[in-house]
Protein backbone atom coordinates (compact mmCIF):
# COMPACT_ATOMS: atom_id res chain seq x y z
CA UNK A 1 0.00 0.00 0.00
CA UNK A 2 1.40 3.35 -0.97
CA UNK A 3 1.05 6.71 0.62
CA UNK A 4 2.58 10.14 0.25
CA UNK A 5 1.35 11.25 3.63
CA UNK A 6 4.83 12.03 4.83
CA UNK A 7 4.41 15.38 3.12
CA UNK A 8 1.91 16.25 5.83
CA UNK A 9 4.62 16.05 8.48
CA UNK A 10 6.99 19.01 8.27
CA UNK A 11 10.33 18.14 9.81
CA UNK A 12 10.85 19.56 13.28
CA UNK A 13 14.27 20.81 14.20
CA UNK A 14 16.10 20.74 17.50
CA UNK A 15 16.35 24.22 18.91
CA UNK A 16 19.91 25.05 19.90
CA UNK A 17 19.36 28.07 22.06
CA UNK A 18 17.05 29.01 24.90
CA UNK A 19 13.58 29.93 23.69
CA UNK A 20 12.21 33.14 25.19
CA UNK A 21 9.55 32.44 27.75
CA UNK A 22 6.71 34.33 26.12
CA UNK A 23 4.27 32.85 28.59
CA UNK A 24 4.36 30.48 31.55
CA UNK A 25 1.93 28.01 32.98
CA UNK A 26 -0.42 29.12 35.66
CA UNK A 27 -3.51 27.97 37.46
CA UNK A 28 -6.43 30.13 38.37
CA UNK A 29 -7.13 30.32 42.11
CA UNK A 30 -10.44 28.84 43.18
CA UNK A 31 -12.73 31.31 44.86
CA UNK A 32 -14.08 30.24 48.25
CA UNK A 33 -17.73 29.23 48.32
CA UNK A 34 -20.15 28.07 50.97
CA UNK A 35 -19.22 24.42 50.46
CA UNK A 36 -15.98 22.53 50.02
CA UNK A 37 -15.61 19.77 47.44
CA UNK A 38 -12.91 17.21 48.09
CA UNK A 39 -11.78 14.19 46.13
CA UNK A 40 -10.78 11.09 48.07
CA UNK A 41 -8.52 9.10 45.76
CA UNK A 42 -7.31 5.68 46.91
CA UNK A 43 -4.08 4.53 45.29
CA UNK A 44 -2.10 1.32 45.57
CA UNK A 45 1.68 1.03 45.52
CA UNK A 46 2.90 -2.52 44.97
CA UNK A 47 5.38 -3.48 47.69
CA UNK A 48 5.94 -6.74 45.83
CA UNK A 49 7.07 -4.81 42.75
CA UNK A 50 9.45 -2.70 44.85
CA UNK A 51 11.03 -5.79 46.39
CA UNK A 52 11.38 -7.48 43.01
CA UNK A 53 12.88 -4.28 41.67
CA UNK A 54 15.73 -4.25 44.17
CA UNK A 55 16.40 -7.99 43.86
CA UNK A 56 19.20 -9.30 41.65
CA UNK A 57 17.15 -12.48 41.10
CA UNK A 58 13.56 -11.19 40.75
CA UNK A 59 12.41 -14.45 39.16
CA UNK A 60 13.54 -16.61 42.10
CA UNK A 61 10.66 -19.07 42.74
CA UNK A 62 10.93 -18.97 46.55
CA UNK A 63 10.97 -15.16 46.46
CA UNK A 64 7.81 -14.98 44.37
CA UNK A 65 5.95 -17.64 46.36
CA UNK A 66 6.82 -15.75 49.53
CA UNK A 67 5.53 -12.48 48.04
CA UNK A 68 2.22 -14.10 47.03
CA UNK A 69 1.80 -15.53 50.53
CA UNK A 70 2.66 -12.13 52.04
CA UNK A 71 -0.06 -10.43 50.01
CA UNK A 72 -2.62 -12.92 51.35
CA UNK A 73 -1.44 -12.59 54.94
CA UNK A 74 -1.44 -8.79 54.75
CA UNK A 75 -5.24 -8.82 54.39
CA UNK A 76 -5.60 -10.55 57.76
CA UNK A 77 -2.60 -9.58 59.89
CA UNK A 78 -1.64 -6.19 61.28
CA UNK A 79 2.09 -6.43 60.55
CA UNK A 80 4.22 -4.43 58.13
CA UNK A 81 4.81 -5.95 54.70
CA UNK A 82 8.55 -6.60 55.07
CA UNK A 83 8.08 -8.45 58.37
CA UNK A 84 5.39 -10.65 56.81
CA UNK A 85 7.61 -11.22 53.80
CA UNK A 86 10.52 -12.36 55.98
CA UNK A 87 8.27 -14.81 57.82
CA UNK A 88 6.73 -16.11 54.59
CA UNK A 89 10.14 -16.55 52.99
CA UNK A 90 11.35 -18.65 55.92
CA UNK A 91 8.17 -20.73 55.80
CA UNK A 92 8.73 -21.47 52.11
CA UNK A 93 12.17 -22.89 52.87
CA UNK A 94 13.71 -22.54 56.36
CA UNK A 95 17.20 -22.98 54.89
CA UNK A 96 16.78 -20.44 52.06
CA UNK A 97 18.94 -17.29 52.19
CA UNK A 98 17.99 -13.80 51.09
CA UNK A 99 21.56 -12.58 50.56
CA UNK A 100 22.14 -14.28 47.16
CA UNK A 101 18.84 -12.80 45.91
CA UNK A 102 19.59 -9.21 47.01
CA UNK A 103 23.39 -8.97 46.74
CA UNK A 104 23.10 -6.61 43.75
CA UNK A 105 25.62 -3.98 42.70
CA UNK A 106 23.40 -1.24 44.15
CA UNK A 107 23.10 -2.98 47.52
CA UNK A 108 26.59 -4.48 47.59
CA UNK A 109 27.71 -2.04 50.32
CA UNK A 110 24.95 -3.31 52.66
CA UNK A 111 24.12 -6.85 51.56
CA UNK A 112 27.04 -9.27 51.68
CA UNK A 113 27.27 -13.00 50.87
CA UNK A 114 27.50 -13.62 54.61
CA UNK A 115 24.54 -11.40 55.57
CA UNK A 116 21.81 -13.09 57.62
CA UNK A 117 18.18 -12.95 56.57
CA UNK A 118 17.50 -10.50 59.40
CA UNK A 119 20.26 -8.19 58.11
CA UNK A 120 18.88 -8.32 54.56
CA UNK A 121 15.33 -7.63 55.76
CA UNK A 122 16.56 -4.43 57.45
CA UNK A 123 18.03 -3.29 54.12
CA UNK A 124 14.83 -4.21 52.27
CA UNK A 125 12.78 -2.24 54.79
CA UNK A 126 14.98 0.84 54.33
CA UNK A 127 14.87 0.58 50.53
CA UNK A 128 11.10 0.08 50.30
CA UNK A 129 10.46 3.03 52.63
CA UNK A 130 12.76 5.19 50.50
CA UNK A 131 10.93 4.24 47.30
CA UNK A 132 7.51 4.84 48.84
CA UNK A 133 8.52 8.24 50.23
CA UNK A 134 9.98 9.24 46.87
CA UNK A 135 6.78 8.16 45.12
CA UNK A 136 4.49 10.04 47.52
CA UNK A 137 6.63 13.19 47.33
CA UNK A 138 6.52 13.12 43.52
CA UNK A 139 2.74 12.63 43.57
CA UNK A 140 2.32 15.53 46.00
CA UNK A 141 4.41 17.80 43.77
CA UNK A 142 2.33 16.85 40.75
CA UNK A 143 -1.02 17.45 42.46
CA UNK A 144 0.16 20.73 44.00
CA UNK A 145 0.85 21.99 40.47
CA UNK A 146 -2.89 21.85 39.74
CA UNK A 147 -3.46 24.79 42.08
CA UNK A 148 -5.47 22.87 44.67
CA UNK A 149 -5.90 24.21 48.19
CA UNK A 150 -4.44 21.25 50.04
CA UNK A 151 -3.35 17.65 49.64
CA UNK A 152 -3.22 15.10 52.46
CA UNK A 153 -1.91 11.54 52.14
CA UNK A 154 -2.71 8.82 54.68
CA UNK A 155 -1.72 5.15 54.71
CA UNK A 156 -4.60 2.68 54.91
CA UNK A 157 -3.81 0.03 57.57
CA UNK A 158 -3.18 -3.61 56.59
CA UNK A 159 -2.68 -2.75 52.92
CA UNK A 160 -0.34 -1.14 50.40
CA UNK A 161 -2.92 1.58 49.78
CA UNK A 162 -2.95 5.29 50.50
CA UNK A 163 -5.84 7.74 50.73
CA UNK A 164 -5.13 11.05 49.01
CA UNK A 165 -7.57 13.82 49.89
CA UNK A 166 -7.48 16.73 47.44
CA UNK A 167 -9.37 19.94 48.18
CA UNK A 168 -11.19 21.76 45.38
CA UNK A 169 -10.31 19.88 42.22
CA UNK A 170 -12.84 19.13 39.51
CA UNK A 171 -11.02 17.35 36.69
CA UNK A 172 -10.89 13.72 37.82
CA UNK A 173 -9.22 12.38 34.70
CA UNK A 174 -6.45 14.95 34.96
CA UNK A 175 -5.79 13.90 38.55
CA UNK A 176 -5.65 10.23 37.53
CA UNK A 177 -3.14 11.02 34.79
CA UNK A 178 -0.97 12.86 37.27
CA UNK A 179 -1.10 9.96 39.72
CA UNK A 180 -0.57 7.06 37.30
CA UNK A 181 1.79 8.39 34.63
CA UNK A 182 5.32 7.11 35.22
CA UNK A 183 6.96 9.93 33.17
CA UNK A 184 9.98 7.88 32.13
CA UNK A 185 11.78 10.02 29.56
CA UNK A 186 14.26 8.64 27.04
CA UNK A 187 16.13 10.16 24.10
CA UNK A 188 16.63 7.55 21.39
CA UNK A 189 18.63 7.32 18.21
CA UNK A 190 16.62 6.17 15.21
CA UNK A 191 16.81 4.13 12.04
CA UNK A 192 15.81 5.49 8.65
CA UNK A 193 13.15 3.45 6.87
CA UNK A 194 15.29 2.63 3.78
CA UNK A 195 17.85 0.93 6.08
CA UNK A 196 15.28 -1.49 7.53
CA UNK A 197 12.75 -1.71 4.70
CA UNK A 198 14.05 -5.09 3.38
CA UNK A 199 13.64 -6.69 6.82
CA UNK A 200 10.09 -5.32 7.19
CA UNK A 201 9.17 -6.63 3.75
CA UNK A 202 10.63 -10.04 4.63
CA UNK A 203 8.69 -10.11 7.91
CA UNK A 204 5.47 -9.23 6.08
CA UNK A 205 6.10 -12.08 3.62
CA UNK A 206 6.62 -14.61 6.42
CA UNK A 207 3.51 -13.41 8.24
CA UNK A 208 1.38 -13.73 5.12
CA UNK A 209 2.54 -17.34 4.75
CA UNK A 210 1.19 -18.36 8.16
CA UNK A 211 -1.93 -20.47 7.74
CA UNK A 212 -4.98 -19.47 9.81
CA UNK A 213 -5.64 -21.79 12.76
CA UNK A 214 -9.40 -21.74 12.13
CA UNK A 215 -11.88 -20.85 9.44
CA UNK A 216 -12.72 -17.54 11.18
CA UNK A 217 -9.13 -16.53 11.88
CA UNK A 218 -7.73 -13.61 9.91
CA UNK A 219 -4.55 -13.81 7.91
CA UNK A 220 -1.55 -11.87 9.15
CA UNK A 221 -1.42 -9.23 6.42
CA UNK A 222 0.91 -6.55 7.84
CA UNK A 223 0.62 -4.11 4.96
CA UNK A 224 -3.16 -4.27 5.08
CA UNK A 225 -3.18 -2.47 8.43
CA UNK A 226 0.15 -0.61 8.29
CA UNK A 227 0.48 2.04 5.58
CA UNK A 228 4.20 2.24 4.84
CA UNK A 229 5.81 5.65 4.51
CA UNK A 230 6.47 5.53 0.74
CA UNK A 231 6.87 8.50 -1.61
CA UNK A 232 5.34 9.06 -5.02
CA UNK A 233 8.10 7.03 -6.67
CA UNK A 234 7.26 4.00 -4.53
CA UNK A 235 10.45 4.42 -2.47
CA UNK A 236 10.70 4.40 1.34
CA UNK A 237 10.82 7.91 2.72
CA UNK A 238 14.21 8.73 4.23
CA UNK A 239 12.91 9.26 7.77
CA UNK A 240 12.40 7.25 10.94
CA UNK A 241 8.68 7.01 10.15
CA UNK A 242 7.91 3.37 9.34
CA UNK A 243 4.27 4.00 8.51
CA UNK A 244 0.81 4.95 9.70
CA UNK A 245 -2.05 2.98 11.22
CA UNK A 246 -5.45 3.39 12.79
CA UNK A 247 -5.30 3.29 16.58
CA UNK A 248 -7.60 0.24 16.54
CA UNK A 249 -4.99 -1.70 14.54
CA UNK A 250 -1.90 -0.85 16.61
CA UNK A 251 -2.29 -3.86 18.94
CA UNK A 252 -2.51 -6.27 16.00
CA UNK A 253 0.55 -4.67 14.37
CA UNK A 254 2.47 -4.94 17.64
CA UNK A 255 1.58 -8.63 17.79
CA UNK A 256 2.73 -9.25 14.22
CA UNK A 257 6.02 -7.38 14.73
CA UNK A 258 6.65 -9.39 17.87
CA UNK A 259 5.91 -12.67 16.06
CA UNK A 260 8.59 -11.88 13.48
CA UNK A 261 11.10 -10.15 15.76
CA UNK A 262 13.82 -12.54 14.58
CA UNK A 263 13.53 -10.99 11.11
CA UNK A 264 14.67 -7.59 12.40
CA UNK A 265 18.05 -6.34 13.61
CA UNK A 266 18.51 -7.01 17.32
CA UNK A 267 18.98 -3.31 18.00
CA UNK A 268 15.73 -2.26 16.31
CA UNK A 269 12.67 -1.32 18.37
CA UNK A 270 9.35 0.15 17.34
CA UNK A 271 7.26 2.79 19.14
CA UNK A 272 4.02 4.59 18.34
CA UNK A 273 3.56 8.33 18.52
CA UNK A 274 1.67 9.70 21.51
CA UNK A 275 -0.31 12.23 19.51
CA UNK A 276 -2.30 11.23 16.45
CA UNK A 277 -1.78 12.68 12.99
CA UNK A 278 -2.77 16.35 12.89
CA UNK A 279 -5.28 15.94 10.07
CA UNK A 280 -6.63 12.58 11.23
CA UNK A 281 -7.13 12.00 14.98
CA UNK A 282 -7.44 8.23 14.51
CA UNK A 283 -4.06 7.72 12.82
CA UNK A 284 -0.74 7.25 14.65
CA UNK A 285 2.81 6.96 13.31
CA UNK A 286 5.14 4.01 13.90
CA UNK A 287 8.74 5.08 14.53
CA UNK A 288 11.93 2.97 14.23
CA UNK A 289 14.20 3.32 17.28
CA UNK A 290 17.83 2.20 17.35
CA UNK A 291 19.09 0.55 20.54
CA UNK A 292 22.69 1.58 21.19
CA UNK A 293 23.25 0.53 24.81
CA UNK A 294 24.10 -2.84 26.34
CA UNK A 295 21.16 -2.78 28.73
CA UNK A 296 18.65 -1.85 26.04
CA UNK A 297 17.73 1.44 27.68
CA UNK A 298 17.84 4.87 26.07
CA UNK A 299 21.37 6.35 25.89
CA UNK A 300 20.02 9.50 27.57
CA UNK A 301 17.24 9.44 30.16
CA UNK A 302 15.14 11.91 32.09
CA UNK A 303 17.17 11.82 35.28
CA UNK A 304 19.50 14.40 33.71
CA UNK A 305 16.70 16.94 33.29
CA UNK A 306 16.93 19.71 35.88
CA UNK A 307 14.11 21.92 34.62
CA UNK A 308 11.05 21.63 32.38
CA UNK A 309 8.54 24.32 31.50
CA UNK A 310 5.59 24.81 29.22
CA UNK A 311 5.53 27.93 27.12
CA UNK A 312 4.48 29.33 23.75
CA UNK A 313 7.05 29.90 21.03
CA UNK A 314 7.23 32.76 18.56
CA UNK A 315 4.89 30.91 16.20
CA UNK A 316 2.20 30.64 18.84
CA UNK A 317 2.78 26.89 19.32
CA UNK A 318 2.50 25.34 22.77
CA UNK A 319 5.78 23.61 23.62
CA UNK A 320 7.65 22.01 26.52
CA UNK A 321 11.25 23.06 27.05
CA UNK A 322 13.79 21.00 29.02
CA UNK A 323 17.19 21.87 30.42
CA UNK A 324 19.75 19.18 31.29
CA UNK A 325 22.58 19.05 33.78
CA UNK A 326 26.25 18.95 32.72
CA UNK A 327 26.28 15.16 32.28
CA UNK A 328 23.10 15.24 30.19
CA UNK A 329 24.44 18.08 28.05
CA UNK A 330 27.63 16.09 27.42
CA UNK A 331 25.74 12.98 26.28
CA UNK A 332 23.33 15.04 24.17
CA UNK A 333 26.28 16.76 22.52
CA UNK A 334 27.75 13.37 21.59
CA UNK A 335 24.43 11.95 20.38
CA UNK A 336 23.63 14.91 18.18
CA UNK A 337 27.18 15.11 16.82
CA UNK A 338 27.07 11.44 15.80
CA UNK A 339 23.58 11.58 14.29
CA UNK A 340 23.46 14.76 12.20
CA UNK A 341 20.80 14.24 9.53
CA UNK A 342 18.99 11.58 11.54
CA UNK A 343 16.15 12.06 13.98
CA UNK A 344 16.31 11.93 17.78
CA UNK A 345 13.16 10.44 19.30
CA UNK A 346 11.88 11.81 22.60
CA UNK A 347 10.01 8.90 24.17
CA UNK A 348 7.91 9.16 27.33
CA UNK A 349 6.43 6.00 28.85
CA UNK A 350 6.93 4.12 25.61
CA UNK A 351 5.30 6.73 23.36
CA UNK A 352 7.11 9.02 20.94
CA UNK A 353 6.24 12.64 21.72
CA UNK A 354 8.53 14.07 19.03
CA UNK A 355 11.38 12.98 16.77
CA UNK A 356 12.98 16.11 15.35
CA UNK A 357 15.71 15.95 12.74
CA UNK A 358 19.19 16.78 14.01
CA UNK A 359 20.59 19.59 11.86
CA UNK A 360 23.80 20.01 13.84
CA UNK A 361 25.34 19.37 17.24
CA UNK A 362 23.40 20.57 20.30
CA UNK A 363 25.86 21.73 22.94
CA UNK A 364 23.78 23.66 25.49
CA UNK A 365 21.74 20.78 26.96
CA UNK A 366 18.48 22.34 25.86
CA UNK A 367 15.67 20.35 24.17
CA UNK A 368 12.15 21.17 23.07
CA UNK A 369 9.07 18.99 22.63
CA UNK A 370 6.78 20.51 20.04
CA UNK A 371 3.53 18.60 19.58
CA UNK A 372 -0.21 19.08 19.35
CA UNK A 373 -0.54 20.06 23.00
CA UNK A 374 -3.18 22.08 24.77
CA UNK A 375 -1.74 24.45 27.34
CA UNK A 376 -3.04 22.21 30.12
CA UNK A 377 -1.45 19.09 28.62
CA UNK A 378 1.89 20.85 28.20
CA UNK A 379 1.76 22.15 31.78
CA UNK A 380 1.06 18.68 33.18
CA UNK A 381 3.77 17.06 31.04
CA UNK A 382 6.37 19.65 32.11
CA UNK A 383 5.38 19.19 35.76
CA UNK A 384 5.76 15.40 35.58
CA UNK A 385 9.10 15.59 33.77
CA UNK A 386 10.48 18.10 36.28
CA UNK A 387 9.17 16.19 39.32
CA UNK A 388 10.85 13.05 38.01
CA UNK A 389 9.65 9.60 37.03
CA UNK A 390 7.79 7.47 39.51
CA UNK A 391 10.12 4.79 40.91
CA UNK A 392 7.22 2.31 41.05
CA UNK A 393 3.87 1.96 39.34
CA UNK A 394 0.83 3.53 41.02
CA UNK A 395 -2.70 2.26 40.52
CA UNK A 396 -5.83 4.31 41.23
CA UNK A 397 -8.28 2.02 43.07
CA UNK A 398 -11.15 4.45 43.67
CA UNK A 399 -12.06 8.10 43.29
CA UNK A 400 -14.90 9.55 45.35
CA UNK A 401 -16.24 13.11 45.46
CA UNK A 402 -17.06 14.39 48.95
CA UNK A 403 -18.98 17.65 49.47
CA UNK A 404 -18.80 19.29 52.90
Q: What is the pLDDT of residue 193?
A: 97
Strands 351-354, 305-312: pairing is unpaired
Res. 403: pLDDT tops 90: no
Q: Would you state the pLDDT for residue 147?
A: 86
What mean pLDDT do residues 61-66 have?
A: 97
pLDDT at residue 61 is higher than 80 = yes
314 CB-contact burial (10 Å; exposed 0-12 / middle 13-18 / buried 19+):
exposed
Q: Mean pLDDT across the chain, nearest whole number? A: 88
* Whether residue 19 has pLDDT greater than 60: no
Other C-beta atoms closer than 10 Å to the C-beta of 178 total 22
Residue 2 scores a pLDDT above 80: no
What is the C-alpha to C-alpha distance for residues 302 and 328, in angstroms, rounded to an integer?
9
- Rounded Cα–Cα distance for residues 194 and 257 (Å): 17
pLDDT tier for residue 250 given thresholds of 50, 70 and 90 = very high
Q: What is the mean pLDDT of residues 182-194?
A: 96
Q: Which of 211-220, 269-278, 287-296 has the lowest mean pLDDT?
A: 211-220
pLDDT of residue 1: 44
**Higher-pLDDT residue of 213, 17:** 213
12 confidence band (pLDDT: 50, 70, 90): very low
Q: In the predicted model, is pLDDT for residue 33 greater than 90?
A: no
- pLDDT > 90: what percent of the chain? 76
Orientation of helix 47-54 relative to helix 81-92, angle to 10°: 60
Banded pLDDT at 219 (limits 50, 70, 90): confident
pLDDT per residue as tens digits for the range 72-95? 999 899 899 999 999 999 999 999
Assign 3-class secondary structure to the chain: CCCCHHHHCCCCECCCCCCCCCCCCCCCCCCCCCCCEEEEEEEEECHHHHHHHHCCCCCCHHHHHHHHHHHHHHCCCCCCHHHHHHHHHHHHCCCCCCHHHHCCCCCCCCCCCCCCHHHHHHHHHHHHHHHHHHHHHHHHHHHHCCCCCCEEEEECCCCCEEEEEEECCCCHHHHHHHHHCCCCEEEEEECCHHHHHHHHHHHHHHHHCCCCCCCCCCCCCHHHHCEECECCCCCECCCCEEEEEEHHHHHHHHHHHHHCHHHCCCCEEEEEECCCECCECCEEEEEEEECCCCCCCCCEEHHHEEEEEEEECCCCCEEEEEEECHHHHHHHHHHHHHCCCCEEEEEECCEEEECCECCCCCCCCEEEEECCCCHHHHHHHHHHHHHCCCCCCEEEEEEEEEEC
pLDDT above 90 for 214: no
Which range (35-39, 149-153, 231-235) has the least confidence?
Answer: 35-39
pLDDT of residue 30: 43
Average pLDDT, integer, range 319-343: 96
Q: How far apart are CA 26 and CA 386, in angstroms?
A: 16
Query: What domains are there in the chain, each with its CATH number?
Result: 5-26+184-389 (3.30.1360.200), 37-167 (no CATH)
Query: What confidence category does residue 36 fall into, taking pLDDT thresholds of 50, 70 and 90?
Result: low
Amino acid sequence: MKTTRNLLFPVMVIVMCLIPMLSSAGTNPIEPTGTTTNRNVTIEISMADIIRGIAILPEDPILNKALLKTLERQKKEDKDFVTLFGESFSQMDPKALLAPIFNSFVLSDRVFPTSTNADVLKVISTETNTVINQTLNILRTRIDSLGVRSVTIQKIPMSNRYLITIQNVQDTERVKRMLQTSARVGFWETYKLPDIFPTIAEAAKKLAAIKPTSANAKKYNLFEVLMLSIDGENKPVNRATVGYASIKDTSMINKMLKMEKMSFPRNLAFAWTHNPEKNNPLIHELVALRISTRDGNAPLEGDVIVDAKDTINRNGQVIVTMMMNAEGARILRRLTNENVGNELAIVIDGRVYAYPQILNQVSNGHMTIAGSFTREEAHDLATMIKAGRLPVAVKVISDVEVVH
